[in-house]
Chain A
């Protein structure tokens, strides 16, 4: 994993070229209209719908100041038109807004949100996740994506196994990729020879309604088997911070360490760098983001941190 294979790596690494900054940022959380998972599940959503807690990044946060740790059931105030339950909060029978998690309290306009410290990944349609194949049969694979159940990848929802080789004509890096004719068309192949048990795969959640296993697809940019690199896990609620506003944090990490990064929404981060030192610094930086996810001005501090670490390595 330390040596970056400039030429030989290309033939096998279908999704790799996609994993540069723009696309990795593309895996950032969906925009407005995407309601936090909890609101979809029986917890009554407020009428207007809360704004997403992770929209708030540096700059917008100055007014919140020091963040308070709240516990489940803690009263955050009486519900009124100026105080509405957002993410991680619900109204209780006596009309107070209460927290559902152990987490940080955030106020965003009229809404109070609680960002939990931990939590299991609950799939949402459109999420790009990194999973490991745990089982396969003639028509489908089963993937562990850290969700309450295994995810299903049907043979028809997986792209062609030879797609990668065709896309990067000739194998020279930087050359224009060929037109991807097979995208969005699915595969004509209906067998499961493409991936094997133990493979790690980037996939997108195609369907999920929480009564059945989530269905995945590998047809699309970025998606497919991962070769090389390594994986780091991070708490799911902290992923918005790792990606940053419009992918700012991930772009920063990418440019400063020149490692390839892909952030799965299920809390798995794939990293592939050219140098061991850069990879090590990147992992440290990710841990720092995870630990300081609640703080203001994180992007600047991470920048400083990486730059100083880089200097140490060079010295």
Chain B
């Protein structure tokens, strides 16, 4: 029996039109970001997005192991996304599954466009993402965290990458789905998006479910709007960390 019963709500919107946690359709969940949480990583960040708790650590550029993965014309980015066994209601097997491998891969592709990997041939930049608590939209929060870990590391980046999920439930587009909204099945779709906010370039877009073209465009607009909020929080966290470090001293 799972530790926490996974409740399936009967309705997804309250009578007053708000969502079950009191958000408007275009509201983000609470977002708390900390930079530099891992002492021994070159760069790190923790993102608490809703009930998600995600820690990302970045290392490098450093030598590639195993050696055959190295490329002599460019550096590589290696991403490992892992969910802790205790991060979900029912114990998750610690074996990296198909889903984790896929998410690692899409996060890698979402982050590569902001890096100047060609500057580091034969080297690798490693990112390790550990999901401590999962509550829907972990891949987006992971991208948010990983981009901050890279920025904290001090590697040249064209931009931060911001991840946010949009979706629809009961045929209404909503921003930043929580776990129970993700699992809703009537008129539902789920679309994780990662954006480079300065140039408004999309580095990740997945879509699970059926949407019409106009619905899709509404959802994408919503995603960009939501990403702006996350982006501001990212920048604020970076500034705060370094301003406090300077004032506090050692």
Give chain A's interface residues, CB within 8 Å of chain B: 38, 41-43, 69, 71-75, 88, 90, 92-94, 98, 100-102, 116-120, 148-150, 210-211, 237, 287-288, 291-292, 294
Contact = CB atoms under 8 A, between A and B. Distances in A.
A72 B237 CA distance: 13
Contacts of B246: 291-292, 294
Nearest to B121: A211
B122 A149 contact: yes
A41 B239 CA distance: 27
Contact of B242 (A42, A117, A119, A288): A117
A291 B151 CA distance: 19
Nearest to B231: A73
Q: Which 5 A-B pairs have the closest CB atoms?
A: A73-B159, A118-B154, A119-B154, A41-B119, A72-B157
A90 B157 CA distance: 10
A102 B151 CA distance: 6
A101 B198 contact: no
Nearest to B162: A73
Contact of B154 (A43, A120, A149): A120
B120 interface: yes
B154 A73 contact: no
The size class of the interface chain B forms with chain A is 35 or more
B223 to A, nearest CB: 18
A120 B62 CA distance: 9
A92 B199 contact: yes
A120 B119 contact: no
B156 interface: yes
B152 interface: yes
Contacts of A94: 199
Contact of B43 (A69, A93, A118, A148): A118
9 contacts: A38-B119, A71-B238, A72-B151, A72-B157, A73-B159, A98-B159, A102-B151, A149-B62, A211-B72
Interface of B: 42-43, 60-63, 72, 114, 116, 118-123, 151-160, 196-199, 234-235, 238-239, 242-243, 245-246, 249-250
A148 B61 contact: yes
A148 B116 contact: no
A148 B117 CA distance: 12
Contacts of A41: 116, 118-119
Contacts of A72: 114, 151, 156-160
Contacts of A292: 246, 249
A98 B61 CA distance: 22
B203 to A, nearest CB: 13
B63 A149 contact: yes
B154 A71 contact: no
B198 A98 contact: yes
A93 B118 contact: no
A43 B156 contact: yes
Contact of B160 (A71, A118, A237, A294): A71
B196 to A, nearest CB: 7
A90 B119 contact: no
Contact of A102 (B60, B154, B159): B154
B158 A98 contact: yes
Contacts of B160: 71-73
Contacts of A150: 63
B152 A92 contact: no
A90 B116 CA distance: 12
Contacts of A148: 60-63, 120, 122-123
A73 B119 contact: no
A73 B116 contact: no
A88 B116 CA distance: 12
Contacts of B121: 210-211
B113 to A, nearest CB: 12
Contacts of B199: 92-94
Contact of B155 (A71, A119, A237): A119
B154 A92 contact: no
A88 B155 CA distance: 10
B96 to A, nearest CB: 27
Contacts of B242: 69, 102, 117
Contacts of B249: 287-288, 291-292
Contacts of B119: 38, 41-42, 210
Contact of A90 (B152, B154, B158, B197): B158
A116 B196 contact: no
A69 B238 contact: yes
Nearest to B237: A71
B156 A73 contact: no
Contacts of B60: 120, 148
